[in-house]
Each structure stands twice: as structure tokens, then as C-alpha cells.
Amino acid sequence: MRLTALPVGYLPLIDCAPLVVAREIGFAAEEGLDLLLHPAASWSIVRDMLTFGRVDAAHMLSPVPVAGALGLGARDAALDAVSVLSINGNVIGVSAALADRMAAAGHGFGFDDASAAGCALIAVAPSPLRIGVPFPFSMHAELVRYWLSGLDLPHRPDIVICTIPPAMMGEAVRAGEIDAFCVGEPWGSKAVDAGFGKLLLPGTAIWSFSPEKILAMRADWPVAHPDLSARLIRAVWRAGRWLSDPSSHTLAAEILARREYLDVAPEVIERALSGRILISSDGDMRQVERFVLFHESAAQLPWRSQGEWIARRLAARTGLCEFDAARRGSAVFRTDLFRAALATTSANLPSASSRVEGAPKHDTAATHIRGGAILYRNVFFDGGVFEPAFS
């Protein structure tokens, strides 16, 4: 079968795995696609590759299409989220010096209590507290802001959010340019392995079901190429399903470790895939349940409520109308395209396209189109609940 070449941009991170697996294991070829994967050094480059047509789809931060719809950042082309590539997968770390001060003050680095970790950090943090994130419009930035603003503290230092490419985060800590960071794996672990810092929390401790990366397309591309876009969505969906099997982790890690992809040791990648997180260079390890998800619990569905949550957060801190932002943010998470692409598969999808974020507090059975399934707990660290305005 002759394959159709399809250029796709990505950043070397654990959560580009569905695209790499779709190419290397053959799910893309089964859909008649030859995925031409183009790496980039920063998220702004990935975004520009997509908006200017160098690639037809991209591994992307989930807030980027929402920000564009709100008129924030680059506005060269409207982007849509047609699938979620990954849920969770981030870590928050601090410099070695800051970790020492926190330990001296009695913090035990339990790695599961966002309130305790945040209070311990603020108690010894310099002002301003400089926190590195990979991009201004990212779940990293939104999680950090949500976390630190939600702490019940009488005083807090000024917070400065600094943009640092993921692969450079450890070096920025070492150079004293930032005091803390939120970044996707394997770059948090790389900073720890080098002795530059210590991990404080997984992103799951702030929001247990956070939409991290998406498959993004220019809004007009699925209209012009409905068959190609559907084939890519299906290939990535099958890759995510394959990744959800723990028996796939060793092979997935070996593939991602290749020089043309992440170019890091496979054991570092496999630790992240299985949720075994090394928090310090002295070998202190933590097991994090559902550290990163690629398929389970309808993880790949681009819930409209996720887009709305992001939009309202962005609007609140930029002075935009929150209701109008919510409408726009909801609209770029294209549940309709995702459902249409998977209509001929065995995909077991929720009947709703929007839901209350921050609920359920426990794993729960959900009403699905085909059969029954379990939706995982979906909680914010402060017990918050987000009611979407659009369904």
C-alpha cells in the first residue's frame, strides 16, 4: 500500500510517545500514513511550524489553541485540539539550595500533598520566587498559578514565571536563573540525575486529570482533508491504547530513547511511563499512581470543559470577558471531530462532551456509548469544582 506522507511537529518529551509509537509500531501505516516527525527545540517553534504550514499537525500544549482563540500570543492561524495526547506527566522541582532550606525547616518531601509542599516552599522561598515553565500558555503555568494562589497563607512572595525550553530546565536551575520549575518528563528527572535540584510534587497532586498535550491542527485543515485528519486521529488513538498496556513500557522506552527522538537513557523514560519517579540524586524514589495517561478513562477525548477551564483561567489573568472566553475555549476542543474519526472503531467514549471538572472524587462508572467503563477520579488539590457553561 502506498502511504501518504504527513508531516507532524513535536517536542522531545515523554508525552510525544503516541506520535512516535504510531509511526514506529505501525499504527500510522495501518491507516495509510507515513508520519514524518519533525522535532523542535521550543514550543514557540512547534506552534509556528504548524501555523505557517510546515507541518499539518503537531504535539502541542493544551492551552495554545485556547490562547489563540482568545487573541493571546501568535494569531497567524486558528488552531484546534482534535485529540488529547496525554493526561498529566509533569513534575515540580526546586533547586538544590532551596530543597536544603525546605528540609532544614522540616519538610519531608512526601511528594503527594500539594498544600503541605506549597506552604513549605513559600515559607523559605526568596522573593521574587522565580519558577521556570516551558511556555507562557501551558498547563505547567496554569497548574503552578492555581496551586500557589490556592494556598491559605497570610503572606506570599512575588511569583515570577520564566519561560525555559524543557531540555534547558536543569541547566537554568544550575545557573541560578530560576529557583523552581514545572516541566514534563524526562527533563525533571534529568535535572535530578545531574544533582541540580530535587522534585517536590507530581502535577497529579495539583489536578489529578490534567489535559497536558493535545494533537493540534489548523482549524481549516480537517475541513480540507477530513479523511487524512480522521486517519491520523485513529492512528494516535491506537498508539495511546498500546501505550496503556504496562507490558509495552520497555519497548516504548527503547524507541523513545533513540537519538532521533529523546536521546536519553531508556531507563529514565521507563520510570516515567510506569510512574516510578526519582525525586533526588541520592536514590529516593516515589511511586505515583497514574503519573501519565495515554488512553485509560477516555484520556484522549478532548473534553470541551477542559478547553473552557483553560479559557477562564487565561481570561481571569488577562482581563478578558470570562464568559466569551469560555465559549471560545470550549469550541476549540473538537470532540465532534474526535468522535467522527473513531466512529468505526471499538472506542468506548462517554456520551457527554463536557463534564464537571473536579468531580468525581473517586473512580466511577460512567454512561458510555458502548458498554460500561470507569472514569478515573478527577480532583483539584483544594477540592475545587469547575462547572462548565457549555455542553
Helix (H, G, I), strand (E, B) or coil at 302: coil
| Residue showing cell 473538537 | 334
Q: Is the pLDDT reported for residue 152 higher than 90?
A: no
Note the residue count of the chain: 391
Quick one: pLDDT at residue 348? Answer: 86
Distance from C-alpha of 6 to C-alpha of 14, rounded to nearest angstrom: 21
Q: Is the pLDDT reported for residue 108 higher than 90?
A: yes
Find the angle CA(290)-CA(282)-CA(276) to the nearest 5 degrees: 15
Q: Is the pLDDT reported for residue 369 higher than 60?
A: no
Which of 195, 215, 212, 216 shows the shortest CA–CA distance to 203?
Answer: 212
* Position 366 confidence tier, pLDDT thresholds 50, 70, 90: confident
Which of 201, 181, 3 shows the shortest CA–CA distance to 95?
Answer: 181
First to last CA, the chain: 41
**CB neighbours of 27 closer than 8 A, spacing ≥ 6?**
21, 235, 236, 238, 239, 242
* Position 115 confidence tier, pLDDT thresholds 50, 70, 90: very high
**Sign of the CA dihedral running 133, 134, 135, 137:** negative
pLDDT in tens, 52-89: 999 999 999 999 999 999 999 877 789 999 999 999 99
Q: Are 180 and 98 in contact (CB under 8 A)?
A: yes
DSSP letter for 312, please. Answer: H
Q: Are 56 and 221 in contact (CB under 8 A)?
A: yes
Quick one: pLDDT at residue 73? Answer: 85
Distance from C-alpha of 309 to C-alpha of 162, rounded to nearest angstrom: 22
Distance from C-alpha of 3 to C-alpha of 33, rounded to nearest angstrom: 5
Helix (H, G, I), strand (E, B) or coil at 195: coil
pLDDT in tens, 160-190: 999 999 999 999 999 999 999 999 999 999 9
